[in-house]
Amino acid sequence: MAGEETKLYLELQMEELKATYGISEDEKSEQEKLKEQRKQEIQRAKNAEIAKMYDDAAEYEADLEGFKAELEIVHANELSNIATALREAFPDEERDFAQELDTIVQTGWAYFVNEEQSHPQEQLEIVNNTTFAHLLPSLQEAYPDYKSFEKEIRELLTKRWENLIAIKEEHIKQELAEIKTTGLKPKYVKRVYQQFHGIIK
């Protein structure tokens, strides 16, 4: 009983002290809220700095995923449908897929003709003067006995996208190596980046 009275007495004294020195419960809780708010702001600023370290790697990762998806489309479609399938799958892309496909095959065929000297000049003329969607039938019509045109075209496309993928993978490795030089683990920096941008909670 005496202990309870002592506790009550101490609480009363504390209330008197607070009243005397002007610190009310409301003010104290307001100060704690401000302190907590400031602490959160400091942590958010630190997280922003850490997240910024992952910006380039995140961009490269997005590009990498895009190129992998594009390669799947290249493999899954008839040659004449590839440009349309890419455009439908990536409507927000500003790239001209039909022009890209033309350029890839024209560059590859120029290499076959001028460097390897494995194909005649006339084929290169057909390739340069025919849109990608109509290329295979045009080559087959001009050279009905040659059966490897589709295989060669697909190999050129596959090689191009595999090169793009390899370049992005190398860029990501370089970014992660750079993060490691700061003493932070790339997985931690990635998690902070994702949390900061609301990708994960």
CA 65 to chain centre: 7
The amino acid at residue 7 is K
Query: What pLDDT sits at residue 23?
Result: 57
Residue 153 · residue 79 · CB < 8 Å: yes
Average pLDDT in the chain: 89
The domain of 46 spans: 24-53
Question: In what helix (H) or strand (E) does residue 75 lie, and over which residues does it extend?
Answer: helix 55-76
Sorted by sequence, the CB contacts under 8 Å of residue 146 that are 6+ apart come out as 139, 140
Give the C-alpha separation, 40 to 37, whole Å: 5
Statement to judge: residues 48 and 92 lie in one domain: no
Q: What tokens appear for 131 in the block?
A: 């849109």
Give the C-alpha separation, 149 to 132, whole Å: 13
pTM > 0.75: yes
Q: Kindly report the backbone phi and psi dihedral angles of residue 194, in degrees, each rounded to the nearest multiple of 5, phi listed first.
A: -65, -40
Statement to judge: residues 99 and 37 lie in one domain: no
Statement to judge: residues 177 and 101 lie in one domain: yes
Give the C-alpha separation, 104 to 120, whole Å: 18
Residue tagged 């594009």 (tokens) = 70
**Is 18 a member of any domain?**
no
Q: What is the pLDDT of residues 76-92, one digit of tens each?
A: 999 999 999 999 999 99
**Is 9 a member of any domain?**
no
Mean pLDDT by groups of 10 residues along the chain of 201 residues = 66 67 63 81 86 92 96 96 96 94 97 95 96 96 95 97 97 95 93 87 56
If one counts the domains in the chain, the total is 2
| CB-based burial label for 132 (10 Å; 0-12, 13-18, 19+) | buried
Statement to judge: residues 90 and 37 lie in one domain: no
**Is 96 a member of any domain?**
yes
Q: What is the pLDDT of residues 148-167, one digit of tens each?
A: 999 999 999 999 999 999 99
